């Protein structure tokens, strides 16, 4: 029986979410639209199969097809990123990062990562994460004057604390990451360097951002975001030296059977990412972000680091006289989907911060370009300005109608074709 017949309530909610995704401008930088092919692979009978272990060495029989699917995904990851080792089993980005800890550290060892308020990730040693509770975290940040990673501070902290593991990468970094500089520091102190490229994996695959391969010992990434795959993750390494330790950390260290339907969808996404069309997409994501950033700067918005080199823009709304949370909520009512976000040296609390975080992966997937980026910036300015004046509802209603009209001109990947 169909979903609509078995559970009409859930079926209708899914339809409602399809409509919402189709008629809003999705600006959250960690979100994207997957293709119809990726959607089809995700919703298959592969979800019925348990496959603990790795190809050729499973703990359940009946793996003749699953082994081929996982091997194909691994080979495509290795070819796309130019690495000799890949593991496609991690359930998501956080477990992938936890596997790195398990492979290289013991509880209480020192790890160094970017502080969460500066753009790092919870799993890079932040206090509320298991990684900050079970290990000894040392955190680096950005310079007040530039908003960019302070590599002098990174080196100074590394020499002082001698971490066994250093993370580079994060969730709100609008500039390119200097992988060679991090690698030099890691070598100097004898640390393992882990590059978390969850946000920029698609840009790296498409040649629109430098690669950590050859610099970082291990690389972790989600498979959604700019890579336009399903909600999963991968681990890779620049050499085969750490392959056994990483494999053992994922299974049996942290996980049981992999999600085979997700593995198949990852394989599809990796095949799509190896095409010239995807490379053009990745470069367009960056071009759109730069246009959007320039338009926001021209309208008086303060951008952390003064702009962007990638897909992501971090906006400090302090000078606009509004907080990030009410701004994100007002923009959402206007059909412009963002997320409120802490900015470096933020005096406000994390649940009511000063900033919002936006990006261009999703709008680029829909085929939007520079003209639409200029219009989006104008709409954001109108809504935020009206909100600061305390009379935003009329503007929000008008912008919402204009956003709906714009989105009708741009197909929704996975739904419209």
* Residues 358-374 pLDDT 10s: 999 999 999 999 999 99
Q: Is 164 helix (H, G, I), strand (E, B) or coil?
A: coil
* Strands 25-26, 336-337: pairing kind: parallel
**CB-count exposure of residue 201 (10 Å: 0-12, 13-18, 19+):** buried
Whether residue 366 contacts residue 413, with contact meaning beta carbons closer than 8 Å, is answered with: yes
Instruction: Find, among 306, 340, 305, the residue nearest to 324 by Cα.
Output: 340
Q: What digits encode the pLDDT tens for the residues 128-138?
A: 999 999 999 99
pLDDT for 126 beyond 60: yes
Mean pLDDT of the chain: 97
pLDDT value at position 194? 98
Residues with Cβ within 8 Å of residue 246, at least 6 apart in sequence: 85, 87, 99, 100, 103, 218, 235, 237
pLDDT value at position 417? 56
pLDDT value at position 61? 97
Q: What average pLDDT does the segment 405-413 reach?
A: 96
Instruction: Find, among 122, 192, 131, 187, the residue nearest to 155 by Cα.
Output: 187
Q: How many percent of the chain have pLDDT more than 90?
A: 98
pLDDT for 416 beyond 90: no
Question: What are the start and end residues of each CATH 3.90.1150.10 domain in the chain?
Answer: 278-407
Please state whether 314 falls in left (phi above 0), alpha (psi between -120 and 50) or beta. beta
Q: Dihedral (C-alpha) 68, 72, 73, 78: value to the nearest 10 degrees? A: 140
pLDDT value at position 415? 87
Question: What are the start and end residues of each CATH 3.40.640.10 domain in the chain?
Answer: 40-273
- What's the CATH fold of domain 40-273? 3.40.640
Is 122 annotated as contributing to ligand binding? yes
Whether residue 316 contacts residue 306, with contact meaning beta carbons closer than 8 Å, is answered with: no
Q: What digits encode the pLDDT tens for the residues 157-184?
A: 999 999 999 999 999 999 999 999 999 9
User: Distance between CA 100 and CA 112 in Å, rounded?
Assistant: 13
- At the second CATH level, the architecture of 278-407 is Alpha-Beta Complex (3.90)
Residues with Cβ within 8 Å of residue 65, at least 6 apart in sequence: none
User: Distance between CA 55 and CA 53 in Å, rounded?
Assistant: 7
Local structure of residue 50 (DSSP, 8 states): -
User: Distance between CA 246 and CA 318 in Å, rounded?
Assistant: 43
Local structure of residue 393 (DSSP, 8 states): H
Name 136's bridge partners: 110
User: Distance between CA 93 and CA 253 in Å, rounded?
Assistant: 16
* Strands 110-114, 136-140: pairing kind: parallel
Whether residue 171 contacts residue 120, with contact meaning beta carbons closer than 8 Å, is answered with: yes
Q: How many percent of the chain have pLDDT more than 70?
A: 100
Q: What digits encode the pLDDT tens for the residues 272-324?
A: 999 999 999 999 999 999 999 999 999 999 999 999 999 999 999 999 999 99
pLDDT value at position 316? 98
Q: What digits encode the pLDDT tens for the residues 222-277?
A: 999 999 999 999 999 989 999 999 999 999 999 999 999 999 999 999 999 999 99
Q: What average pLDDT does the segment 392-402 reach?
A: 97
Whether residue 84 contacts residue 237, with contact meaning beta carbons closer than 8 Å, is answered with: yes
Residues with Cβ within 8 Å of residue 202, at least 6 apart in sequence: 225, 226, 227, 228, 273, 278, 281, 282, 285, 361
Whether residue 308 contacts residue 290, with contact meaning beta carbons closer than 8 Å, is answered with: yes
* Lowest-confidence segment of 26-30, 104-108, 238-242, 395-399 by average pLDDT: 238-242
Is 240 annotated as contributing to ligand binding? yes
- Positions annotated as catalytic residues are 50, 52, 196, 222, 225, 231
**pTM as predicted:** 0.96
């Amino acid at each position: 029986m169909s979903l609509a017949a078995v559970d009409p309530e859930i079926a209708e909610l899914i339809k409602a979410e399809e409509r919402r995704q189709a008629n809003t401008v999705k600006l959250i930088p960690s979100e994207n639209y997957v293709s119809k092919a990726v959607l089809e692979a995700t919703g298959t009978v592969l979800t019925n199969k348990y496959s603990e272990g790795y190809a050729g060495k499973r703990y359940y029989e009946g793996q003749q097809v699953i082994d081929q699917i996982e091997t194909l995904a691994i080979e495509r990851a290795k070819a796309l990123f130019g690495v000799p080792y890949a593991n496609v089993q991690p359930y998501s980005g956080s477990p992938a990062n936890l596997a790195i800890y398990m492979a290289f550290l013991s509880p209480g060892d020192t790890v160094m990562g970017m502080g969460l308020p500066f753009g790092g990730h919870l799993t890079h040693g932040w206090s509320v994460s298991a990684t900050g509770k079970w290990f000894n975290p040392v955190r680096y940040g950005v310079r007040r004057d530039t908003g960019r990673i302070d590599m002098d501070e990174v080196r100074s902290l590394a020499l002082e604390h001698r971490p066994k593991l250093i993370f580079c990468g994060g969730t709100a970094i609008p500039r390119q990451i200097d992988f060679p500089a991090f690698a030099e520091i890691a070598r100097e102190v004898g640390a393992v360097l882990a590059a978390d490229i969850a946000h920029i994996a698609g840009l790296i695959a498409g040649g629109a951002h430098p690669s950590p391969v050859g610099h970082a010992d291990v690389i972790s990434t989600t498979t959604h975001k700019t890579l336009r795959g399903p909600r999963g993750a991968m681990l890779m390494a620049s050499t085969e030296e750490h392959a056994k330790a990483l494999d053992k950390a994922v299974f049996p260290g942290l996980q049981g059977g992999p999600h085979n339907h997700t593995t198949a969808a990852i394989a599809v996404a990796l095949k799509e990412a190896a095409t010239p069309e995807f490379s053009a997409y990745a470069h367009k994501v960056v071009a759109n972000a730069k246009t959007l950033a320039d338009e926001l700067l021209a309208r008086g918005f303060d951008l952390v680091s003064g702009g962007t080199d990638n897909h992501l823009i971090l906006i400090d709304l302090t000078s606009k006289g509004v907080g990030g949370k009410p701004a994100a909520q007002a923009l959402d009512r206007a059909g412009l989907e963002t997320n409120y976000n802490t900015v470096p040296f933020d005096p406000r609390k994390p649940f009511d911060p000063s900033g919002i975080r936006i990006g261009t992966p999703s709008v680029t997937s829909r085929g939007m370009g520079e003209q639409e980026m200029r219009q989006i910036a104008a709409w954001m300015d109108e809504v935020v300005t009206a909100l600061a004046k305390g009379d935003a509802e009329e503007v929000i209603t008008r912008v919402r109608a204009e956003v709906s009209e714009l989105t009708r001109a741009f197909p929704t990947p996975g739904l419209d074709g």
